[in-house]
Amino acid sequence: MSKTDLRGLGREQVRTLVQDLGEPAFRGDQVFEWVFQKRATSFEWMTNIPKGFVASLSGVAEIGRLEVISEKKSSEDTTKYLFGLKDGQAIESVLIPHDYGMSVCVSSQAGCRMACRFCASGEGKFVRNLASSEITAQVLEIQALLDVQNARVSRVDFMGTGEPLDNYDNVLQSIRVLSEPRGLGIGMRKMTVSTCGIVPGIRRLAGEGLQVTLSVSLHAPDNALRDVIMPVNKRYPLEELLPACDEYAKSTGRRVTYEYVLIGGLNDGAEHARKLSRLLRGRLAHVNLIPLNPVLGSRFERSGPEAVRVFSRELQKSGIAGTMRKEMGSQVDAACGQLRRRHVDAGRRQVGKRPDPGTKPG
């Protein structure tokens, strides 16, 4: 029988698990805090818990670990981690330092089935959804590395490999776990869920009553072009997608971020910017312009500096709020899926250093 991974449970769920084993609920609080505040990776760390109970708990639960396969750091101090899972799959996470704190971009799936034309994730093919514990573990592993610097993860972006709304339940559970006040305590307003446009998932998320930011990968101002770039548009065209986004904005009171990757000669003309302005005018929206990250073997190229300036100027003239995303990792294969793809293509694992699971904090 498989064991329950404590990294995927919220505080109340741990309390229930502990009570089912015949222990008082406060023991659950102690266990939860060991895992999420003290970053325990072994039951041996839990020195204030009776050994008899630890033996019972370890019979039904575990504290999952991720193996650091490789780690790449850019000159901007962006660090990309390739983590290994128990079944041999690999996933990516990125640590990005900002003026306002440390942001972690996590993966929600091993591979992706959305097949966006410019993205390396889809080329890796979909393998499976990640469990909630595997999602939260990405943040915990990186937080453990930051502990020695007295630094803290302050933001979590569900923008790594995979489509978060295609793994809805596990992503939602990880959001709730990561925001637990007695755990990592990352506010929901400091979390972003990115989607290529899964309309039922957006509408469902709108009804959850959460304050997470919704980020929608748009990348084209009309259906014809979006069909070429993003096959998901054939199932959920703009006439369905944008009203769902409006519903999310109305339900939460939060503006929706529309991601727009600028691809040279394809979607970066002044006429595209004007179309985009007409599409978003009057909506609670913000446009995030993104220089295309080059992907090995892709026919797409990034837009030139002049095209970017013209596109941005057209948006500003129309009164559309927008920013140009600062590049923080092209040197570390920061485009989703690239590091994993290189690993899969190479067919070999480079085992990195990590703390011994049995080592207690000093």
pLDDT band at 76 (very low <50, low <70, confident <90, very high): confident
- How high is the pLDDT of residue 224? 98
Measured CA angle at 79 (ends 78, 85), to 5 deg: 150
- How high is the pLDDT of residue 353? 41
- How high is the pLDDT of residue 297? 64
- How high is the pLDDT of residue 47? 95
Stretch 201-224: mean pLDDT, rounded? 97
Q: Could you tell me how far CA 211 lies from the centroid of its own chain?
A: 16
3-class SS string, the chain:
CCCEEHHHCCHHHHHHHHHHCCCCHHHHHHHHHHHHCCCCCCHHHCCCCCHHHHHHHHHHEECCCCEEEEEEECCCCCEEEEEECCCCCEEEEEEEEECCEEEEECCCEECCCCCCCCCHHHHCCCCEECCHHHHHHHHHHHHHHHHCCCCCEEEEEECCCCCHHHHHHHHHHHHHHHCCCCCCCCCHHHEEEEECCCHHHHHHHHCCCCCCEEEEECCCCCHHHHHHHCHHHHCCCHHHHHHHHHHHHHHHCCCEEEEEEEECCCCCCHHHHHHHHHHHCCCCEEEEEEECCCCCCCCCCECCHHHHHHHHHHHHHCCCCEEECCCCCHHHCCCCCHHHHHHHHHCCCCCCCCCCCCCCCC
pLDDT tens digits, one per residue of 255-304: 999 999 999 999 999 999 999 999 999 999 999 999 898 776 678 999 99
CB 92 within 8 A of CB 135: no
Class of domain 4-62: mainly alpha
pLDDT surpasses 60 at 61: yes
Burial of 142 (0-12, 13-18, 19+ CB in 10 A): buried
Stretch 188-204: mean pLDDT, rounded? 98
How far is the C-alpha of 216 from the C-alpha of 244, rounded, in Å? 11
How far is the C-alpha of 334 from the C-alpha of 328, rounded, in Å? 8
How far is the C-alpha of 167 from the C-alpha of 149, rounded, in Å? 33
What is the pTM (predicted TM-score) of this model?
A: 0.89
pLDDT surpasses 60 at 336: no
pLDDT band at 27 (very low <50, low <70, confident <90, very high): very high
Domain edges within the chain: 4-62, 67-346
pLDDT surpasses 60 at 162: yes
pLDDT surpasses 70 at 241: yes
pLDDT band at 35 (very low <50, low <70, confident <90, very high): very high
pLDDT surpasses 50 at 174: yes
What are the Cα distances from residue 142, in Å, to 7, 14, 27? 14, 22, 26
Q: Does domain 67-346 have CATH number 2.130.10.10?
A: no
pLDDT surpasses 60 at 9: yes
CB 141 within 8 A of CB 94: no
- Catalytic residue positions, numbered: 92, 336
Would strands 213-217 and 191-195 be described as parallel, antiparallel, or unpaired?
Answer: parallel
